[in-house]
Amino acid sequence: MTRTSRPDRLIVAVRSVAGPGYVRAPHSIGARVPLRGQGVVEYGLILSLSAALAVILLVFFGGTVSAVLNAVGDAIDAAS
């Protein structure tokens, strides 16, 4: 960690050694503070990508899935 006369440079230098997902608070050099909201954004991205993938798969394979489910239903009806 490099100490300089400008406080903003000190904060930048300290942030670079804090580790991934953490920033060091400028008032307490030893403390690690997790970045707020980062996890929520990541979950939102995962959820939206999963929903988009499901829509794309259903558009392309919806007819095939429907035919397979109809065949399974017909086989169950025939067996009972």
pLDDT at position 37 over 70: yes
**Which residues face 22 on adjacent strands?**
34
- For the four alpha carbons of 17, 18, 24 and 30, in that order, the dihedral sign comes to negative
CA-CA distance, 72 to 44, in Å (whole number)?
Answer: 35
pLDDT at 65: 93
Distance of CA 57 to the CA centre of its chain: 21
Average pLDDT of 15-22?
Answer: 56
Distance of CA 8 to the CA centre of its chain: 30
Domain boundaries, given as residue ranges, for the chain:
1-35, 36-80
- What would the pLDDT profile of 52-71 be if each residue is shown by its tens digit? 999 999 999 999 999 999 99
Q: What phi and psi, each to the nearest 5 degrees, are found at residue 65? A: -65, -40
End-to-end CA distance of the chain: 75
